[in-house]
Amino acid sequence: MINVTKTFLPPQEEYNEHLKKIWESHWVTNQGPLCEELESRLKNYLGVKNLLLVSNGTIALQLAIKALDLNGEIITTPFSYAATVNSIIWENCTPVFCDIEDKTFCMDPSKIESLITEKTSAILPVHVYGFPCDVERIGKIASVNNLKVIYDGAHAFGVKLNGNSVFNYGDISTISFHATKLFHTIEGGAVITDDDTLAEKLFLYRAFGHMDDDYYTVGINARTSEFHAAMGLCNLPRISGFIEERKKINLLYKENLKELPIDFPEIPYDIFYNYSYFPVFFRSETEMMSVKDKLLDDQISARRYFYPSLNLLPFIKGESCPVSEFNASRVLCLPVFNGMDEQLIIKISELISLVLHK
Q: What whole-number distance in Å separates Cα of residue 185 and Cα of residue 13? A: 17
Q: What whole-number distance in Å separates Cα of residue 276 and Cα of residue 180? A: 10
Which helix (H) or strand (E) segment holds residue 51: the answer is strand 50-54
Q: What angle do CA 262, 311, 3 make, to 5 degrees?
A: 50
CA separation, residue 191 to residues 39, 57, 170, 215 (Å): 11, 8, 12, 22
* Burial readout 53-63 (b: 16 or more C-beta within 10 A, e: otherwise): bbbbbbbbbbb
- Please list the ranges in the chain whose pLDDT falls under 50: none
Which helix (H) or strand (E) segment holds residue 152: the answer is strand 148-152
Q: What whole-number distance in Å separates Cα of residue 156 and Cα of residue 198? A: 22
Residue range 323-336, pLDDT digits in tens: 999 999 999 999 99
Phi, psi of 256 (to 5 degrees): -80, -20
Question: Structural domains in the chain?
Answer: 12-237 (3.40.640.10), 238-356 (3.90.1150.10)
Q: What whole-number distance in Å separates Cα of residue 330 and Cα of residue 232? A: 34
Do strands 73-76 and 120-124 pair parallel, antiparallel, or not at all (unpaired)?
parallel
Phi, psi of 14 (to 5 degrees): -70, -45
Residue range 145-199, pLDDT digits in tens: 999 999 999 999 999 999 999 999 999 999 999 999 999 999 999 999 999 999 9
Whole-number pLDDT of residue 22: 98
Q: Which of 177, 173, 196 has its CA nearest to residue 186? A: 177
Q: What is the DSSP letter of 13?
A: H
> Quick check: helix, strand or coil at residue 335?
coil
The answer to whether 72 and 94 have CB atoms below 8 angstroms apart is yes
Whole-number pLDDT of residue 317: 84
Q: What whole-number distance in Å separates Cα of residue 306 and Cα of residue 330? A: 10
CA separation, residue 212 to residues 46, 51, 188 (Å): 30, 21, 24
End-to-end Cα spacing for the chain: 25
The answer to whether 291 and 298 have CB atoms below 8 angstroms apart is no
Whole-number pLDDT of residue 324: 98
Q: Which of 172, 231, 225 has its CA nearest to residue 196? A: 172
CA separation, residue 21 to residues 27, 29, 134 (Å): 9, 13, 43
Global pTM exceeds 0.95:
yes
Q: What whole-number distance in Å separates Cα of residue 5 and Cα of residue 97? A: 29
Count of Cβ atoms closer than 10 Å to residue 293 Cβ: 10
Whole-number pLDDT of residue 148: 98
Q: What whole-number distance in Å separates Cα of residue 122 and Cα of residue 68? A: 9
> Quick check: helix, strand or coil at residue 174?
strand
The answer to whether 53 and 184 have CB atoms below 8 angstroms apart is no
